[in-house]
Amino acid sequence: MSSVVEQTADRPVTPARERRRPAAVLQGVALALGLVLMIGGFALIAVDYRPYNIPTASMHPTLQVGDTVLARKTDGGAVGRGDVVVFRDQAWGGELMVKRVVAVGGDTVATSGDNRRLTVNGQPVDEPYLATQGRQGESFSVTVPQGRLFLLGDNRVGSLDSRTHLEADGGTVPADAVEARVEATLKPFGRTGLLDRSTAFDAFTGPKASQPGPLEPAAYATVAGAALILVTSAVGGVAGLARRLRRGRSS
């Protein structure tokens, strides 16, 4: 009896089984790589980013009512002129708001001339992201205290922003009121995409708009990992079915 068991356990490896071994190893490696990419990319997004809903048209056309955006967690010390930020200031009602940073501590921000064009430290700012060019409201001039930010909506004729709070600290908010920096629109899916980095303040000295975070490579890694898992699983399933069909015909 023992010899029969030994012969059954030590069956010679057929050429077909020998050929399947490298394929099985490659399939396992591909699945593992896909899992690492998908889980790693998704985890990075989940840890670094938070979704926010846009309830008003104050940031139109950059952001629209009903948009869901992804914003990277940060603080006011890491943002610059041109960044679109999520913040909460009790002096503004304590609600989460989304505006664009146009001036930082030490800047003098103003509007002047017939068209009320924005100037920072006396230098006009070309703002291609505005909903409308030209007159943007009443004239003002504010020197931003250190550690604070001056924030405006891109829809200057329909935004309650620093201009409407000039009586309190010149309309500025504490830099540490910033919770996140908006980097992408998530929904609706027709508007899904990265937010363009503003170059409007690149000619100015001092902090400029931040470079994008790891959202794009993390998203690509997540999608690539999921695709690799699906393709590998499908190829493995088709190969297994083909082997079973061949065995059926040979028998």
Quick: pLDDT tens for 92-129: 999 999 999 999 999 999 987 666 789 999 999 999 99
SS3 label, residue 71: strand
Position 17 confidence tier, pLDDT thresholds 50, 70, 90: low
Pairwise CA distance, residues 30 & 235, whole Å: 11
CA contacts within 13 A on the Cβ side of 27: 16
What would the mean pLDDT of 130-155 be, rounded to a whole number?
A: 89
Rounded to the nearest angstrom, the gap between the alpha carbon of residue 64 and the centroid of all alpha carbons in its chain is 16
Catalytic residue numbers read: 58, 99
Pairwise CA distance, residues 152 & 98, whole Å: 9
Any idea which of 3-12, 74-83, 103-112, 184-193 has the lowest mean pLDDT? 3-12
Residues 156 and 53: beta-carbon distance below 8 Å: no
Amino acid letter, residue 243:
R
More confident residue, 123 or 2: 123
